[in-house]
């Protein structure tokens, strides 16, 4: 029996956070702007060995603290649904299997997720990466001939079968460690793979503080589908036309490898985000640790700019740095001066077509 290797990265939204779900309200209010996001896979992710199984789905994962967790379920819809409804660790994986079993005549599968270096609950879509891992594994073992976009869709359907309410961009990790754009229009998603002419270097920073993502999403969703006051109109304006324009400029800069321009646009996006969105959820989006880091004088000589990640707040920051040496220097400074913070390297590698 052949054992195959598979890797799925996390997902980082460089520009266009929140625009996926905001554009989902276009079916109720067509005057809302389409969503637009610039996304890349991370260099970190989930590593697994996969092989077919006659009639069971077995998912074994080794957590970063050394704990092993195992799910063993017969390939039966009612048993998968019971696992999904529990809303616990393996519910996402069970959700994807349930969706695949609904559409295909497939047997079982064994996944051994033997190593993970992707941080969880840090805005890098660790749960979506798990869902994509399951979709990719079944596609690979059973030759389902799913496109990357279809794998992304099955991962999304699987996760939303659970109590989770992820956005449409989370499963972009199906496209691997490369940058893509995604346009959101109601339930429709249009992904496009981008070409990058030279390597671009980033540092992702876990701020070691805390944020309440559910509260952020709750407050911002109250601004849709129809704005009732100036605060809500401002949220719709930023997540619509302003975010779209900044994201398009960032896409143009990335495709010519202009790191300095990307940094300037990160600064602009953060300033505009703060102006238009903080009043809607000041207790979470004021984000003192995020702004302290972005303005921290010792790192300024080495970075072009930076902004918040994911839903924003004091969760994770992203910095675009000047070169590989600057990447190491920035990590050294931050982890030395802010012991509670942890850094990850991200490099978007050139994929210039020949």
Q: What is the pLDDT of residues 283-298, one digit of tens each?
A: 999 999 999 999 999 9
**Is residue 307, in this structure, part of any structural domain at all?**
yes
How many domains does one find in the chain?
2
Provide the CATH number for the domain around residue 31: 3.30.230.10
What is the tens place of the pLDDT at every residue in 51-76?
Answer: 999 999 999 998 877 889 999 999 99
Q: Do residues 238 and 147 share a domain?
A: no
Range of the domain at 343: 200-348
- The pLDDT of residue 171 is 84
Q: From 193, 210, 232, give the residue that closes a domain.
A: 193
Q: Do residues 21 and 167 share a domain?
A: yes
- The pLDDT of residue 169 is 85
- The pLDDT of residue 165 is 65
- The pLDDT of residue 166 is 67
Does pLDDT of 36 surpass 70? yes
Residue 303, C-beta contacts closer than 8 angstroms, at least 6 positions apart:
203, 263, 319, 320, 321, 322, 326, 330
Exposed e or buried b for every residue in 214-247, given b needs 16+ CB within 10 A? eebbebbbebbbebeeebbebbbebbbebbbebb
Q: Do residues 52 and 171 share a domain?
A: yes
Q: Do residues 172 and 241 share a domain?
A: no
Q: From 193, 218, 249, give the residue that closes a domain.
A: 193
- In this prediction, residues 272-279 reach a mean pLDDT of 98
Exposed e or buried b for every residue in 15-38, given b needs 16+ CB within 10 A? bbbbbbbbbbbbeeeeebbbbbbb
DSSP β-bridge partners for residue 113: 61
Q: Do residues 215 and 134 share a domain?
A: no
Q: Do residues 186 and 206 share a domain?
A: no
Longest dimension (CA), the chain: 62
Does pLDDT of 192 surpass 80? yes
Comparison of pLDDT for 301 and 87, the residue scoring more: 301
Q: Do residues 222 and 187 share a domain?
A: no
Q: From 152, 168, 193, give the residue that closes a domain.
A: 193
What does the alpha-carbon distance between residue 318 and residue 294 come to, in Å, rounded to a whole number? 9
Provide the CATH number for the domain around residue 344: 3.30.70.890
**Is residue 234, in this structure, part of any structural domain at all?**
yes
- The pLDDT of residue 354 is 35
**Is residue 353, in this structure, part of any structural domain at all?**
no
Does pLDDT of 162 surpass 60? yes
45's enclosing H/E stretch is strand 35-53
What does the alpha-carbon distance between residue 199 and residue 344 come to, in Å, rounded to a whole number? 16
Q: Do residues 294 and 189 share a domain?
A: no
**Is residue 354, in this structure, part of any structural domain at all?**
no
Q: Do residues 188 and 214 share a domain?
A: no
Q: Do residues 145 and 43 share a domain?
A: yes
- The pLDDT of residue 67 is 87
Q: Do residues 180 and 228 share a domain?
A: no
Does pLDDT of 120 surpass 80? no
Q: Do residues 117 and 151 share a domain?
A: yes
Give percent of the chain with pLDDT exceeding 70. 98
Residue 310, C-beta contacts closer than 8 angstroms, at least 6 positions apart:
13, 17, 122, 123, 124, 213, 316
- In this prediction, residues 256-281 reach a mean pLDDT of 98
């Amino acid at each position: 029996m052949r054992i195959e290797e598979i890797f799925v990265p996390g997902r980082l939204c460089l520009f266009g956070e929140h625009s996926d779900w905001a554009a989902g309200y276009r079916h109720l209010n067509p005057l809302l702007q389409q969503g637009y996001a610039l996304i890349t896979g991370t260099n970190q992710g989930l590593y697994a060995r996969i092989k077919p199984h006659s009639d069971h789905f077995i998912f074994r994962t080794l957590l970063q603290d050394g704990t092993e967790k195992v799910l063993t379920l017969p390939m039966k819809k009612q048993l998968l649904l019971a696992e999904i409804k529990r809303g616990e660790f393996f519910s996402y994986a069970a959700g994807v299997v349930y969706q695949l079993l609904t559409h295909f005549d497939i047997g079982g599968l064994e996944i051994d997720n033997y190593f993970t270096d992707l941080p969880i609950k840090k805005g890098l879509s660790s749960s979506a990466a798990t869902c994509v891992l399951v979709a990719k594994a079944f596609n690979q073992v059973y030759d389902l001939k799913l496109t990357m976009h279809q794998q992304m869709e099955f991962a999304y359907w699987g996760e939303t079968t659970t109590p989770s309410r992820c956005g449409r961009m989370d499963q972009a990790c199906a496209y691997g460690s490369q940058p893509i754009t995604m346009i959101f229009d109601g339930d429709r998603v249009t992904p496009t793979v981008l070409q990058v002419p030279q390597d671009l270097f980033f540092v992702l920073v876990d701020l070691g503080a805390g944020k309440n993502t559910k509260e952020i999403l709750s407050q911002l969703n109250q601004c849709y589908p129809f704005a009732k006051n100036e605060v809500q109109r401002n949220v719709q304006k930023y997540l619509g036309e302003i975010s779209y324009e900044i994201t398009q400029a960032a896409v143009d800069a990335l495709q010519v490898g202009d790191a300095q321009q990307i940094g300037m646009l990160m600064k602009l996006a953060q300033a505009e985000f703060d102006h238009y969105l903080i009043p809607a959820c000041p207790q979470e989006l004021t984000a003192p640790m995020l702004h302290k880091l972005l303005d921290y004088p010792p790192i300024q000589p080495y970075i072009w700019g930076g902004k918040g990640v994911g839903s924003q707040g004091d969760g994770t920051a992203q910095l675009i740095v000047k070169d590989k040496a600057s990447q190491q220097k920035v990590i050294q400074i931050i982890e030395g001066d802010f012991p509670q913070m942890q850094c990850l390297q991200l490099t978007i590698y050139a994929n210039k077509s020949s």
